[in-house]
Amino acid sequence: MTNQILVSIFVLSVAIISYHYIIYPVLLSFINITRYSLPKYFHRNYIPSLKDEALPSIHIIIPAYNEERYIKDRILNLAIIDYPEDRFKISVISDGSEDDTYRAALNAASLPECKHLNIDIHALEENIGKIAIINQFASSQNSDIVVLSDASAITSINCLLIIAAYFQQDKRIGAICGNYQFVPAQTSGEQAYWNYQRRIKIQESMLGSTIGLHGAFYAFKSELFQTIPHDTINDDVILPLSIIRQGFKCLYDPRLITIELESSSDQMNFQRRIRIAAGNLQQSIRNMDLLLPRHRRFAFNFFSGKFLRPFIPLLLICSFISSILLATEYLFFLSVIFILLALTTSTLYYLLIDSQPDSKIAKTLFYIVAGHIAMTLGVFSYAFHSPHKRWRKIKSSPRLEEPRT
């Protein structure tokens, strides 16, 4: 009887893990999907057009904490965006920065090439956190669309025209995000992961709605904004979920390109993934109502793509322990291989934090195992009520001082 229970635990754990990572993406490819058409947007080429009057007004909000290094590039990038000058405005908020972010933003805004921008620059004396800034500035403006952007992100010059085209084409669309890339190039493991995630987001959009948006740059209808709980960890998931709950769609467009300028060391990536994992558990617990049948296709997306994710570490532990207890040669052999791989990789990770294996396969395995270690730490951290801290910028390692995560 005991063996039957252990076998059931092992099989169920492995089945759920396989479903989340493998079967769900395959199902998305084979489900009878109604493909959404990428909206066509007109090319202004910086020349005013009669169509400009019909474009929605847009408010770009940029929370900035210790972003002195990147804020000038961000403002210069916004200065060349192809969109009517009187139809978008920018708010840069230095959130109690300990460097000279505020002064750098003022200097950038005063440059001749930025004089045409409708830009407000705020300096908060104390660090209140990104969520507080979103709640304050997203709810206190009267634009049609709100865009949230990182200070270290660079966007394509047609980004606002693409966003406007979506909201004009389909009134059921509530939020939109796009392709997220890094400078310098990612490791092979990280690149493989992001390619995997991009395919899923495209397929989820075709099915009705993608779940999480890329926090570096995303847009939503201002009328749909609802105050985010102050202790929210992943705003780029919680906010779109609130929009979907109101009956609107969140879509992904690969033409909407955002480039992350700030380099990140392995240590920074690891800390970021711990935080995201804690947020994954938080959003699964707080949004269980989205699993109800009335949400139909999105309930399937949410359960398969997001809800299961924070429980993967527990399932991995259960599958390993149950296979050890069963002590059958085959299962025990697989378990030993798995634990040796995890221990070896994690040991190298902590001892040689900035070192990466040379082999592409080894790098991918390194990234996967390190990610599951981070996921386990993040989930247990949140489960045992570790206090959620306001965002703090992790300093780049000295070797990466030229350009984040």
User: Locate tokens 């493909």: which residue?
Assistant: 35
Contact of 150 with 213, CB cutoff 8 Å = no
Strand ranges (E), 239-335: 249-260
Contact of 178 with 254, CB cutoff 8 Å = yes
Burial of 123 (0-12, 13-18, 19+ CB in 10 A): middle
The pLDDT value recorded for residue 354 is 46
Check pLDDT > 70 for residue 32.
no
pLDDT band at 318 (very low <50, low <70, confident <90, very high): confident
Check pLDDT > 80 for residue 80.
yes
Mean pLDDT score, 102-119:
95
The pLDDT value recorded for residue 59 is 96
Mean pLDDT score, 244-266:
86
Mean pLDDT score, 147-153:
94
Quick: pLDDT tens for 86-96: 999 999 999 99
Check pLDDT > 50 for residue 398.
no
Highest mean pLDDT among 121-125, 296-300, 341-345, 391-395: 121-125
Encoded tokens for 265: 């060391």
Sign of CA dihedral 138, 84, 165, 170: positive
The pLDDT value recorded for residue 397 is 39
Comparison of pLDDT for 291 and 357, the residue scoring more: 291
Check pLDDT > 60 for residue 348.
no
The pLDDT value recorded for residue 367 is 72
Average of per-residue pLDDT values in the chain: 82
Contact of 372 with 273, CB cutoff 8 Å = no
What distance in Å separates the CA atoms of residue 338 and residue 359, rounded to the nearest whole number? 19
Q: How many residues does the chain have?
A: 405
Comparison of pLDDT for 34 and 217, the residue scoring more: 217
> What are the residue ranges of helices labelled H in 81-187?
101-109, 130-138, 159-169
Over pLDDT 90: what percentage of the chain?
Answer: 43
Check pLDDT > 50 for residue 345.
yes
Could you tell me the CA-to-CA distances from 260 to 71, 180, 291 in Å, in that order? 12, 7, 33
Comparison of pLDDT for 198 and 115, the residue scoring more: 115
Lowest mean pLDDT among 182-191, 214-223, 282-291: 182-191
The pLDDT value recorded for residue 380 is 85
The pLDDT value recorded for residue 269 is 74
The pLDDT value recorded for residue 353 is 46
Contact of 72 with 107, CB cutoff 8 Å = yes
The pLDDT value recorded for residue 350 is 44
- Give Cα 334 to chain centroid, integer Å: 33
Over pLDDT 70: what percentage of the chain?
Answer: 81
One-letter amino acid for residue 339 of the chain: I
Check pLDDT > 80 for residue 119.
yes
The pLDDT value recorded for residue 196 is 81
Check pLDDT > 80 for residue 328.
no
Structural domains of the chain, ranges and CATH numbers in brackets: 1-32+265-405 (no CATH), 50-262 (3.90.550.10)
Check pLDDT > 70 for residue 241.
yes
Q: What pTM value is reported for the model?
A: 0.84
